[in-house]
Structure 1
Amino acid sequence: MKIIRNAFFALVGALSAMTITAVSVPLNLALAETKVDNKERESVDCAPVGNWVVPGGGKITESEVISKAAKRPVVLLGEMHDNAEHHRWQLQTLAALHAARPEMVIGFEMFPRRVQKALDQWVAGDLTEAQFLAAADWGTVWSTDANLYLPLFHFARMNRIPMVALNIDTRLRRTVASKGFAGVAEKEREGVTQPAAPSAAYLGYLLPIYGEHDRSGKKRGDTQPDDPDFLRFVEGQQLWDRAMAQAIHSALERPGRPLVVGIMGSGHIKHGYGVPHQLKDLGVGDVGTLLPWNSGTVCGQIATGIADAVFGIASLSPATPELSSRPRLGIRFEMAQDGGARVLQVEKGSIAETAGIRDADIIVEAAGVPVKRTEDIVETVKRQPPGTWLPLTLKRGSDTSEIIAKFPAVRK
């Protein structure tokens, strides 16, 4: 915590998820948006659908965006994990970059390093889809619908583009959360080195985001920059950024000096605060950053420096029939060490959010059945008919409560 606290007193803040009794939930920053003046007109479309825009500038052609990006050693493509349109944009952008720079490696936030062998076997054509997802432990480590990502995986396999696991194992995040980075033996750190200290701007960016997702029961806006939980949250986020930056840095050393493209949540990319900041500390300063931008988002959020360019995406594009017909609770989770499903992320506007589920809650029972495996949650939700209620037993801190997740009826 020394580096973090020094940064806080020198700059005004710090990052999060280390030391005793820490919350081990790295929030998905892709879901968080910076607050803007309510007077701003939301109807103004600053990034029209199908157009590239330079933040703080104006429209730019796709050929210019791709030409500039392909000359860099690293390009990061952001996403909101559950947005199908974002993944379609990523596929389109990957194809354009690959045409300009065939020597390529694709790194994915979705995979921890321990499953790298599965990625290699998939690209080599040795595994079926089902075998690949099982070998990569997808249901446990990510749990977002794999159909959203499979086109990207197939693109890599079709073109024999190496796929690299960028993330770290959940167990390491939990250990760091309870002991601090310095309290974890070097041999247990998965090779992750001490993260570079955060900038004051990053701390200012994270504080309102953390306040929106505060799991301590405080009212929104009550979180202070020196709040111990916030400091742990910050340090944990940096751990994640550092791990991905190191994996990207290693990929650059492959024969042929390939273009390394990183697929990750937009929050790890925006303003260069997260992974780009850690890459710079590792000696990689020339990093391209491209983001999908939901049409209709207020203009004030497309601030100069948020990315090199953003691409306008239809914000309410209909999902495919296969995906839209599936019941979704709207959470990402991991299995807790002592049993139950620990909630990592609650999607905005989801059934889970409406029911009152929060980040860090532990679902111990679903429909009266103890949750002992990932499948206990996944299969229960899949079986839930439209228009019915699903009783859930939650553990929040030392309290246990019953809530009802209400699945809406099918709209005709």
Structure 2
Amino acid sequence: MTIPSLPRRLFVLLALLAATSFSILVSESGAAGRAPGPPPAPATSCLAPASWTIFGDRKPQLANSQQVLAELARRDVVLLGEQHDDVDHHRWQLQVLAGLHAQRPEMVIGFEMFPRRVQPVLDRWVAGELTVKDFLAQSEWDKVWSVPAEIYLPLFQFARLNRIPMLALNVDQDLTRAVAEKGWDAVPAAEREGVGRPAPASAAYQQFLFEIYRQHAAMRSKPARAGSRDPVFANFVDSQLAWDRAMAEMLARQVAAPASAGRPLVIGIMGSGHLRFGHGVPHQLRALGITSIGTLLPVPADSDCSDLSPGIADAVFAVPAAVDAVPEPPRLGVALDRQGGRVVIASVSAGSLAEKSGLQAGDQLLEVAGKPAAELSSVLAAIRRQPAGTWLPLQVERAGRKLEVVIRFPAGR
């Protein structure tokens, strides 16, 4: 069996970077750790829990929700960030959607989670023609997104209940993977799903992406060369830009609707990495002529103010820590991918539980706890459900041989 090439592994990291807000080291659940560098200084938070803070280009200022939403409701496009697997982020998004809908009922909600090809399924869902089970099956949720559907369903139900059109913003993973492997110019125009050439990345965005690329290279003990000197990094940037451009184009089409048709407020639901500091999707929207853009982010209430510099977003909402928060789910320290219909370990973090248990990059997962490892979502769910202090048996295939691996989760998690 061939170990996945670096470009393919970079695609895995690229697919997860969108979930990050202020951090870049990704585990198998899509959650993130701190960026590499010296130990952070003690946090000095400037946020009040359960409150809005306006940034813009000035010193942070507290604001109330009426002030923030009234201003954002006047924009053409409003982008709501998230860390994909954070339930409170989706609760916050629902709250914002309800507030904006009350002020501007004509609305369209675009979702990063869905590729364009499933748009007819979203239309039937909003029209009330599908059950939840049918909607998730026909939209291929377990194939296109590796986060449990239940944390997104309140957003989908809100759209259905209010007959708000849902828009599939994304493209198939095959396209972003192909760009990550070969670069934009090497992908034939007929295979780009109609996505136009992206606007070049700013120097700041390139630096942000390079930090992610450098972290991945460090995990594999390979040096990372900056900028155009490293063709793999150049392809990595191309793939992220194609992803941003695809979503921006779908949003821009809604803004371009004739005013006589009742132009809607266009909402984009996406990972925070796609909108921070006006990079990513906002940058591509501006290149498409859309300048009336609002960006909102959920952040932990105890965020270090040094992470919240001016320009990060129009406003951030300080998400308070939950008193009854569930303990953080177990993490193996792997990045997962799908190849040839199988779930594959794309990379293993040094010193992680996965490495200590003997898992290796390139292992194909056959069974988890005696059940077929058919989908990313089922594998992630099995890991998250594992109680502290217990053993999780895995069956993997490595170089044509089937091996049994037992993960021993430490007690007291």
Q: TM-score, normalised by structure 2?
A: 0.80
- 1:182 matched residue in structure 2: 185
- 2:366 matched residue in structure 1: 365
- 1:280 matched residue in structure 2: 286
The equivalences for 1:1-400 within 5 A come to: 23-25=10-12, 26=14, 27-31=16-20, 33=22, 38=39, 40-42=41-43, 44-55=44-55, 56-214=59-217, 217-218=220-221, 222-225=224-227, 226-254=229-257, 255-316=261-322, 318-319=324-325, 333-337=336-340, 339-342=341-344, 363-367=364-368, 371=373, 373=375, 377=379, 381=383, 387-392=389-394
- Aligned amino acid, residue 11 of structure 2: S
- Provide, for residues 362-404 of structure 1, a one-character-per-residue CA deviation record: whole Å limited to 9, x for no partner: 5433348774555773675588565332344678999999865
CA contact (8 A) 1:47 1:310 kept: no
SS class of match (1:144) = coil
SS class of match (2:241) = helix
Q: Displacement of 1:214 after TM fit? A: 3.1
Change (3 A) 1:397 1:166: farther
**Cα distance in structure 1, aligned partners of 2:138 and 2:328:** 27
Q: Displacement of 1:19 after TM fit? A: 11
Change (3 A) 1:41 1:388: closer
Unaligned runs of 5+ in 2: 24-34
CA contact (8 A) 2:181 2:235 kept: no
CA contact (8 A) 1:366 1:392 kept: yes
**Cα distance in structure 1, aligned partners of 2:377 and 2:83:** 24
SS class of match (1:214) = helix
Q: TM-score, normalised by structure 1?
A: 0.81
**Cα distance in structure 1, aligned partners of 2:219 and 2:331:** 26
**Cα distance in structure 2, aligned partners of 1:23 and 1:37:** 24
**Cα distance in structure 2, aligned partners of 1:310 and 1:379:** 30
Change (3 A) 1:380 1:222: same
- 2:29 matched residue in structure 1: none
CA contact (8 A) 2:213 2:224 kept: no
SS class of match (2:291) = coil
Moved more, 365-374 or 295-304: 365-374
CA contact (8 A) 2:21 2:83 kept: no
CA contact (8 A) 1:19 1:232 kept: no
- Provide, for residues 277-308 of structure 1, a one-character-per-residue CA deviation record: whole Å limited to 9, x for no partner: 00011111121000001121211010100000
